[in-house]
Chain A
Amino acid sequence: MSDPEIDLRLFQSSYFDEADEHLSTMEAALLELESNPSDAELLNTIFRAAHSIKGGSGMFNLRQIQQLTHALESLLDPLRAGALAITPAIANLLFRSTDLLKTLLQNAKAGSSETVDTSATLAELEKAYRAPRTPPAGGSPNVASPPQCPMKAQEPSSALQASAPHSQRFEVHFAPGAQLFESGVDPVLVVRNLCRLGENAEVRLRSESLPPLSRLNPEACYLSWDIRLESQCCEAELRDVFAFVEDASTIEIRALPETERAQDLGIPAAAAPPPVDEPGSPPPQQVPPPQVPAPQAAAEVDTHPREKLHEAAAATQSTLRVSTDKLDRLLNLVGEIVIAQSMIVQALDHPAADTLERVRDAVVDMERNTRELQERVMSVRLVPMASVFNRFPRLVRDLGLQCHKQVELRILGQETEIDKGIIEKLIDPLTHLIRNAIDHGIESPEARRAAGKDETGTLTLCASHQGSSVVIEVRDDGRGLDTQRLRERGESLGLIQPGDSLSDDQIHALIFEPGFSTAERVSDISGRGVGLDVVRRNLDSANGSVVVTTERGKGTRILLKLPLTMAILDGLSLRVGEQTFILPLLSITESFRPTRDQLGSIFGRSEVVRVRGEPIPLLRLYEALQVVPEKTDPLRATVVIVESGSDKVGVLVDELLGQAQFVIKSLEANFRKVECAMGATILGDGRVALILDVDSLIRRGMGSTHTALSA
């Protein structure tokens, strides 16, 4: 890559991550602001978040984001100062602006060239800013701190320059601190970004502090710059370009009076001071216009087209922030493993009487360190559920308003940690479950009052650890599911047959079937039968399960159970014929060799095994997977009972081999999808073993029983 912008792209990914966090902060503070409109600190929080987003946007030439955040700041300033009051209209405008900002950031992150029209929101922000001011509390006529770049009444807003440009001449002095290079920032790129905010830029390099080579410390920065340019931006916007270097630099920006401006433009001005020329400094250089791209209106970074795809791919990569302490510990562990490996090699290269003992000790060390390394690497991928839950207060607020319902959201266990990959699969399911709970579950205030309930419904999101699983609960105190209607709907859609013997849980699970809906009306929130199937689909792909419990008139509780991680599985290896299979340990309740009186069948067709009187469908694994078994007689084989939710099946296998941790490899990525398998693993002897998908096994086992029952 020959483009100097490559350095900036490395920072860009971090910028988008940070911007996401700032957006979440803004949204949370806005929600709280609705309940506490007099809390000035909340406004400060929103302002700081908007300002941080703006700072980076200047650096990466994201003009629309810069304009929008700037307009937001301008409105927030009088709000902070008490000169404007927070009204529901302003709160909604701030919410809408945050949404628009989110869209712009998402587009920029994805490298999308889609143009988003921000003019209406910018106009609304300016209109709100220009609204008549109320004197701030305390009666001081001018309490408001000066806005960073006020939308002056006598001139067009800088946030709306696109519609009413007005340029001004600026002089900027930029003297990076001597240590600037240590931060990895290239000051020339900062100068470039500044030049891109205007036109007719003149850059004067100041190198008088630069020593001759014999006395040069190449790691210290000696250069500084004086830049003159014409720009439609205000001083604050220009200053934002220096957001990442301002702490370690001297930055002076001043708007030039007309006389100096006239001189710059070549118009004689007797009063203008002569330009400062220092001996040894190169003359000011006009930055060649063709090489200086004009500021772009679209929310994208100007790069070469062929690099766009690469850039977009890089930008959308999922990232995690990891503390250096954690990384150092990982590095130490790797070091320990390397030492143990060296000890083994040395012991084998120089055989002695104690070689075996030395090798054994080294292997024990290596095993311990490898396990710790694995646990620590896993922990690096764990992120708190708060990162998902934090997005829902806003959703609940908006849906409540839209549906004319009063909903209180309770969030519990947001500190619960879960693998980042799994968290990403949870966002859509939880969103759909919340939409459905508010649209169909929780009743209107009138209906709740009539039912003797509090007018405000409660929606609870709760996360907790259970063994090596995470359980997420979505609970509402609404009207609950109508089991009879679900059944009728399932029959009319052909999902179940009339007369099928199904438990209530099985009927409730129909809501996760594609296209299933009992809604009498279709709203833009839910009811089209589209959406809840994503719950099952995403949970299946994350090796999770979902259970619905409901009580008519009392509410619905949906439990999502997911593994902590998708990379390593605690499993039980077992054998059928010459094949080895793995069952997730979490799904196994017990295993035993059945006695004759435990075995039976339903209507002489489907086999069951009775466990403490409970008939459980028996699935002969060799039949399901079409492998040649060693044992076909259940009295000589072993039955492993596995469960998912309230469903169970007994899996008939030749023998159990042992319990261990297995690294999960994707079958679809490496081979193809295999029925009844959720992945594969490589065993210690190099052979490949299928990891069995318990839900598929249960569906298969239960399916044969249902068929038998309805026969």
Chain B
Amino acid sequence: MQEQITRISLQATIDAVAALELAITARDWVALGCDLELECSALERIDAMALQVLLSLQKELATTNHTLRLSSVPSEVMQYLAYAGAAESLLGAGVKS
């Protein structure tokens, strides 16, 4: 049976304020009970708070054997993830427990 993937688009800037909203919204995504793909082509910038929420979401999903990955990541965000040391885990298949 094929694994269900839900695609969600991240847009504009996700910094301190938006990261708090993201943390709340992401709990609903966990409840979907499926793998998540965050489409980032319209994402302009994230900061460490947002990055932390994404990694935490990834960890949460891993407890139910689901994955999180980012796709279509713009180069500037990609560069940020590289400096953060998070590019591989968020752009790859994610962490499966």
Contact = CB atoms under 8 A, between A and B. Distances in A.
A305 to B, nearest CB: 15
B58 to A, nearest CB: 9
B27 A186 contact: no
Interface residues of A, number: 39
Chain B interface mostly helix, strand, loop or mixed? helix
A223 B51 CA distance: 10
A186 B82 CA distance: 15
Interface string A278-292: 001011110110010
Given A4-B80, A282-B88, A287-B83, A213 B48 contact: no
B49 interface: yes
B37 interface: no
Interface residues of B, number: 38
A702 B88 CA distance: 81
A149 interface: no
Contacts of B60: 212-214
A138 B55 CA distance: 58
A646 B47 CA distance: 64
A4 B49 contact: no
Contacts of B89: 205, 282
B83 A192 contact: yes
A229 to B, nearest CB: 12
A285 B80 CA distance: 12
B76 A3 contact: yes
A221 B48 contact: yes
Contacts of A213: 23, 26-27, 30, 53, 56-57, 59-60
Contact of B83 (A2, A3, A188, A207): A188
A214 B47 CA distance: 20
A287 B78 CA distance: 11
Chain A interface mostly helix, strand, loop or mixed? loop
B79 A291 contact: yes
Interface string A188-203: 1101100100000001
Contact of B63 (A2, A7, A212): A212
B95 interface: yes
Contacts of B95: 280
B32 interface: no
A181 interface: yes
Contacts of A205: 84-86, 89
A188 B84 contact: yes
Contact of B52 (A203, A222, A280, A287): A222
A203 B63 CA distance: 26
Interface in B31-85: 44-45, 47-49, 51-53, 55-57, 59-60, 63, 74-76, 78-80, 82-85
28 contacts: A2-B45, A2-B74, A2-B76, A3-B45, A4-B47, A4-B80, A7-B47, A181-B16, A188-B80, A188-B84, A192-B83, A203-B83, A203-B85, A210-B59, A212-B60, A212-B63, A213-B53, A213-B57, A214-B27, A216-B53, A218-B22, A218-B49, A221-B52, A223-B48, A225-B85, A282-B85, A291-B79, A291-B82
Top-7 shortest CB links A-B:
A205-B85, A2-B44, A203-B85, A213-B60, A212-B60, A282-B89, A192-B83
Interface of A: 1-4, 6-7, 181, 184, 186-189, 191-192, 195, 203-205, 207, 210-214, 216, 218-219, 221-223, 225, 280, 282-285, 287-288, 291
Given A213-B57, A291-B75, 14 more contacts: A188-B80, A189-B83, A191-B84, A191-B85, A205-B84, A205-B86, A207-B59, A218-B23, A219-B49, A223-B48, A282-B86, A282-B89, A285-B88, A288-B79
